[in-house]
Structure 1
């Protein structure tokens, strides 16, 4: 189990929680749990050594290596200091741990074993934690870009990529076993029975931007908001938009246009409109072998029931980056092997090719969804969800989506995006424009080869 985002430079982001942590108790916790799980070993057999902390975006990991060779990880939230911890965070950690335990019992999804957890700072570590088994393997990023990072043969690398995508599709399809009438964090009864849902903790991107640029507060610790359960799939998409109404005319028009597109997103005709999904379906959360075999899916923090249109059958995040221009860092020079300043990226053509690989893998294992293909249309729906949740990405995603919508509508009139946004801002959209958008959008959602 590892994280491509881990960096010792991030340690300063965890100053407060690391100050609160009683690090001397880490080996004691590990030893006590080890003896409970493996009572045949004596104390001298199991004394663990604590490794250097590994920092992710929202948590820090402490490796515990036992004299037997076994390795575990203690995961501690970035806001785990007592004065930052609240009931919402405690509920989120509890859901994360119990969901992982449930999936370990009820599915064949490869993920770490939850050995112990505490959703309160009132324990020997003085911080909430989850104690996890370690998954041996390499980050998918290292295999996915093996032809760039290690000079692997491109055809061999293609085979490994395909194997990884097939394993991921097979694993995440199993989340479809867990469906809900309402969105939110699952609540478990005895025997892993699902009793319903509770509020979900979500990162509040707008609040973070306000802290930095309005209040001039440079703090980097995450800010969260509680999203209540809802039976309305569209309300799930637009929750963040409701929290921060726009006053600026242009932004108001973009948001109104975004709301309109979301209102046209079809959902499968299923008994339950919501389904369990991984909360951060991106490349850093997958561990594979050198040959691309899926070994583990990590980081289930924030796991919840979401609309099926953005649920467990959607594309992996790294396959849809080209539709999020604010975050997509591809340069043509990468094709010649020129190393980027940041992370490697695939070209739009390559991403489209692997989207077809993934949708083929999903198609082999899914039930018939009638006229609604959640995987195919997730290229659009997942990016609309990003646009609704993250104001940094909203403008560029919306311009790209509307441009593609307009091109597919069969309207010979050239798109005037500024005029479309103005009409939506003033709630004065003519019928021709609305019809063009609707026809183009429904065509785009069902189009093959994107």
Structure 2
């Protein structure tokens, strides 16, 4: 679902492109680039013959690098553009069955949504989940969606000196159109978590094993094994009917040995166990796998044009599903990743990406929550959007050890405050008592009371 190593928008910095080119060197060496225009020509002659009269081929543009894939633009003489998407691990020695099934799920999910919803997303023109093809790499061939990255419009008052009133209207328009799209995913619910599997006619049958980026293994590779490689490490998880198992999968996969880290994990597990799951047989729902700002294309006025990058799409617990807040609206609850500085209000350029103030994020969350409520298709018994400010960040804490301590410190302090405690919270002591499995019953009651209040509090 969320991928914290990729929470920041893609950088336009050429130096970063050079680094990505190095990351993709193996798959670029394996790729038969000369076959790209021929493949596009053959497909166009099959589905849109007017695009490629006999003897003409599209022009291949410069590669566009993402975190886990590279895109090659293919421009036809008519001006129409397609994109060939190649995964970073798409070489014969690294491509495996779970990666192949993930690519199939991505392509067929996009085709399903294109048929049965009004969610704007690229057309899947062709795909191959094997290295045994003319390109020598797995690929998805997609139509191009014109527009601008949402990041550029969202921070137009910073990047383009747009009027604040105009900028707010564009943001509101974007949030409302995104909420309208995301609520449509609620039509695709499942009894188990995992990667969607499909019948021959393209209809969903259920879920199967799925892959998730293994953040802990990547961090260990860099800092424990001193291996500078940047290619992703994936873990495979089986379909499960237990929503809590989705949250704790990475915690189970990587047991902690350090006492303080054990305490953090024990506290995190306790909070996760208190998350109320909606009732009903289908406890899992389809959602976008990386619901962050870099994956949205909009018009200059903020109207949604397309949602891209469905790699890793899966059915997830409803408390982490399609009704949750977008990732860029909850950054203030992830202190390790949140880079806001008051100087930004005076236009001071950040070292990284622009950020919104906590007050601004509260305002934006209220706009988005209202839009979800307007479009929601469930019974409304549980406000999943409001809860997701907490549930999504607890999920990030479970996935990414770099974020765990600071997220839990913030959540614990907010819980303490809402429980009406006069004494100051000693976070280190709290974690120690969890590490020693020696939490006083009264403290546990305070935590549960405060946590329940936090989940339903207005105005966060």
Answer whether TM exceeds 0.5 for this pair: yes
- Distance in 1, matches of 2:282 and 2:242, equals 11
Contact 2:110 2:121 in 1 (8 A): yes
The equivalences for 1:87-126 within 5 A come to 87-126=97-136
In 2, Cα distance between equivalents of 1:315 and 1:46: 46
1:184 is aligned to 194
Could you tell me which runs of 5 or more consecutive residues in structure 1 were left unpaired when the two chains were aligned: none
Summarize the Cα distance change of 1:296–1:46 in structure 2 as closer, same or farther, 3 Å threshold: farther
Q: Residue 24 of structure 2 aligns to a residue in which SS?
A: helix
Q: CA deviation at 1:46?
A: 4.5
Q: Matched residue of 1:444: which SS? A: helix
Q: Deviations over 1:40-95 (max 9, x none)?
A: 45535752000000000000000000001110000000111111111111111110
The structural deviation recorded for 1:8 is: 2.3
- String of CA shifts for 1:281-319, please: whole Å, max 9, x gaps: 000000000000000000000000000001000000000
After superposition, residues 4-403 of structure 1 pair within 5 angstroms as 4-5=10-11, 7-9=16-18, 10-40=20-50, 43-44=53-54, 46-403=56-413
Deviates more, 1:41-50 or 1:134-143: 41-50
On the 8 A contact 2:44/2:52 being kept in 1, the answer is: no
Query: 2-side partners of 1:235 and 1:127: how far apart?
Result: 34
For the Cα contact (< 8 Å) 1:324–1:393, is it kept in 2? yes
Q: Distance in 2 between matches of 1:408 and 1:230?
A: 34
Shift of residue 250 of structure 1? 0.5
2:248 is paired with a residue whose SS is: helix
Aligned partners of 2:189 and 2:284 also within 8 Å: yes
1:271 Cα deviation from its structure 2 partner = 2.6
Distance 1:307 1:368 in 2: 14
| TM-score normalized with structure 2 length | 0.96
For the residue of structure 1 that corresponds to 2:126, the secondary structure is: strand
- CA RMSD, aligned part only? 1.2
**Helix, strand or coil: the match of 1:327?**
coil
Structure 2 gaps, min length 5: 1-8
Match of 1:406 in 2: 416
| Deviation for aligned residue 1:367 | 3.5
Q: Distance in 2 between matches of 1:76 and 1:340?
A: 32
Contact 2:186 2:377 in 1 (8 A): no
Q: How many residues are paired up? A: 448
Q: Does the CA contact (< 8 Å) of 1:167 and 1:293 recur in 2? A: yes
Q: What are the superposed Cα offsets for residues 88-126 of structure 1, whole Å, 9 maximum, x if unpaired?
A: 111111100010011000110000000000000110000
Once the two structures are TM-superposed, the CA of residue 253 in structure 1 deviates from its matched residue by 0.4
What displacement does 1:196 show?
1.3
